[in-house]
Amino acid sequence: MYITSKYIPREYLALKINYCRKQLAELPEVKVYNHKVDGCVEKQIVVGRHKFGINSKRAQTYNKIFLLRDEITRNLQFYETLWDLIFKGSPLPECTPRKLIRTLSVGYNKRIVMDKAFFDSLKEDCNTKYPKNTGYYFNGICYRSASERDIAILYTELGIPFKYEPSVTLAGLPNPINPDFVFYIKELDTCKFHEHLGIKDSSEYLRVTRIKYGNYTNAGLIPDLDILFTYDTEEMPFDIRYLLAKLNASIYGSLICCKNIE
């Protein structure tokens, strides 16, 4: 469990609490007891009125559920403690976990759902067009700037899986592109894109940025909902709290604005 203590997004924390509660409500109650047999102590799995020896296949399945429930319970207690400490009251009821169906246009009349299967299919660290500064390492990946490394650390602390510069196909483009980050929100079973722009005042960089913006919107991504843009310039240095605010707004916007949900 990582979640950062620097700044906790209110709606995202509420979503995590409600997600844990939903998981616990859906998982069967499993208890583990020590049972004495012929003078030897053995573990016994109890589910409702059913009892299973620890070595049976069903017991092994239920034991995994028992461990999963324990992990979720500990996470929930941690999130609830943070909520009570910072926000008070009950977590926002509208921040209810659900499957959000957002699609990406990858070819003529062809769209794919940006769910976990899509996220798992992405190959990471695929951009070989530009050299990297070797001074910005984190978790085995070399990032192009200190800001990008800070972003990777933040997503890791929040427990958000992400892919750095993956290869993504967009409709209308002859070759795949490499967005800075594609991250996965498990509570909504959906992916979001994140482009971090480091030298906005460069005319060439601005031209490339306009092209990127157009490519993403043409593929059906909605800025600030499906894709986040952050910046780092001399006039506007990057602050991680800005990303957290945008992340929180994107998640909350997904919950209250999107109709194509299950």
As a whole number of angstroms, the distance between CA 223 and CA 245 comes to: 14
Burial class (CB in 10 A: 0-12, 13-18, 19+), 203: exposed
Q: Nearest to residue 45, comparing CAs of 59, 35, 28?
A: 59
Would you kindly state where each structural domain of the chain is located, as residue ranges?
Answer: 10-86, 103-257
| Alpha carbon of residue 189 to chain centroid | 9
> Which residue type is seen at 36?
K
Q: Nearest to residue 11, comparing CAs of 224, 180, 259, 255?
A: 255
pLDDT at 1: 46
Paired with 41 in beta bridges are 36
Phi, psi of 185 (to 5 degrees): -100, 100
Tens of pLDDT, residue by residue, the chain (262 residues) = 456 556 778 899 999 999 999 999 999 998 887 776 666 767 788 888 888 777 788 888 888 998 999 999 999 999 999 999 888 889 988 899 999 999 999 988 899 999 999 999 999 998 888 777 778 999 989 998 999 999 999 999 889 999 999 999 999 899 999 999 999 999 999 999 999 987 656 777 778 788 888 999 999 999 999 999 998 877 788 899 899 999 999 999 999 887 655 5
Paired with 113 in beta bridges are 103
Q: How many CB atoms lie within 10 A of CB 4?
A: 16
Is residue 248 within 8 A of residue 10, CB to CB? The reply is yes
Say what the pTM is: 0.88
pLDDT at 37: 64
DSSP the chain: ----SS---HHHHHHHHHHHHHHHHHSPP-EEEEEEETTEEEEEEEETTEEEETTSHHHHHHHHHHHHHHHHHHHHHHHHHHHHHHT-SPPPTT-----B--EEEEETTEEEE-SHHHHHHPPSS---SS---TT-EETTEE-SSHHHHHHHHHHHHTT--EEES--B--TT-SS-B--SEEEEETTTTEEEEEEEES-TT-HHHHHHHHHHHHHHHHTTPPBTTTEEEEE--SSS---HHHHHHHHHHHHHHHHHH---B-
